[in-house]
Structure 1
Amino acid sequence: MAAFTEFLQGIDHEAHRDRTEQIFNWITEKHPKLETEIKWNQPMFTDHGTFIIGFSVSKKHLSVAPEHVAIQYVEEDIQKAGYDYTKEIIRIPWNREVDYELLEKIIDFNIWDKANCTTFWRK
């Protein structure tokens, strides 16, 4: 997770930084084979050179970006969690609990669905 150190240090709000670090640590523990990278100034987890999930921080929420196909796959779960979302991102408000089961379902789906993917993004 050393790749994320500078990104985390750049989060001014201490509670937001701590929560983001907790999520990154959780992903690293659950999926130790995933690689950590910073691309386009955003922390990302990849598998065999293909994108699995990325994050960005805003004032009101943590954005989770798993690609459109994964959002479609878990859309009902996102709605049940009560998170706002678009075709490309899920917004987890800082004042709400993190639905780790949802994150795990997204990551597991992307690892499975992109097992034979040879490009960074889906085509």
Structure 2
Amino acid sequence: MEVFTEYLAKIDNPQHRDRTEEVLAWVTRKFTNLEPKIAWNQPMFTDHGTYIIGFSIAKKHLAVAPESAGINHFSDEIVQVGYDHTKQLVRIPWDSPVDFSLLEKMIEFNMLDKVDCSTFWRK
């Protein structure tokens, strides 16, 4: 989690900072084999040099970016839990609970789907 300390310190809203820290800490604990890093000024996790999932903050939500393949695969579930999404990210409103089960499925999907991937992003 040390890699995220500076990023978290720059989040002005204490509730947003706490929520972001909670999610990043959960991913770090749950997926100990993933490498936490900051790239493009955003926290993300990689596996064998390939992107698995990233996060960013916005005024009204925490954005989760599992690449478009993850969004497409889980689109129905994303909507069922009450989140909005675009082609590239899922919006978790600050006042909504985090569905860690869905987050876990998205991470596991990307890890399995990209097990033989040798590039950072999917082609």
What SS class does the counterpart of residue 74 from structure 1 fall into?
helix
Partner of 1:16: 16
- CA deviation profile, 1:21-58 (whole Å, cap 9, x unmatched): 01111111110010011111010000000000001001
- Is the aligned partner of 1:85 residue 2:76? no
What SS class does the counterpart of residue 6 from structure 2 fall into?
helix
Partner of 2:97: 97
Name structure 1 gaps, 5 residues minimum.
none
Distance in 1 between residues matched to 2:70 and 2:84, nearest whole Å: 15
The alignment-based identity, stated in percent, is: 58
1:1-123 equivalence runs, <5 A: 1-123=1-123
The ranges of structure 1 where at least 4 consecutive aligned residues each deviate by more than 6 angstroms after the TM superposition are none
**Structure 1 residue 59: Cα displacement:** 1.1
- TM-score, normalised to structure 1's length? 0.98
- CA deviation profile, 1:61-118 (whole Å, cap 9, x unmatched): 0000110001111111101011110000000000001010110000000000000100
Distance in 1 between residues matched to 2:18 and 2:79, nearest whole Å: 25
- TM-score, normalised to structure 2's length? 0.98
What SS class does the counterpart of residue 59 from structure 1 fall into?
coil
Q: State the aligned residue count.
A: 123
Supply the AA of the counterpart residue of 2:102. L
**Structure 1 residue 3: Cα displacement:** 1.0
**Structure 1 residue 119: Cα displacement:** 0.3
Distance in 2 between residues matched to 1:3 and 1:25, nearest whole Å: 11
Distance in 2 between residues matched to 1:122 and 1:3, nearest whole Å: 25
Supply the AA of the counterpart residue of 1:114. K
What SS class does the counterpart of residue 119 from structure 1 fall into?
coil
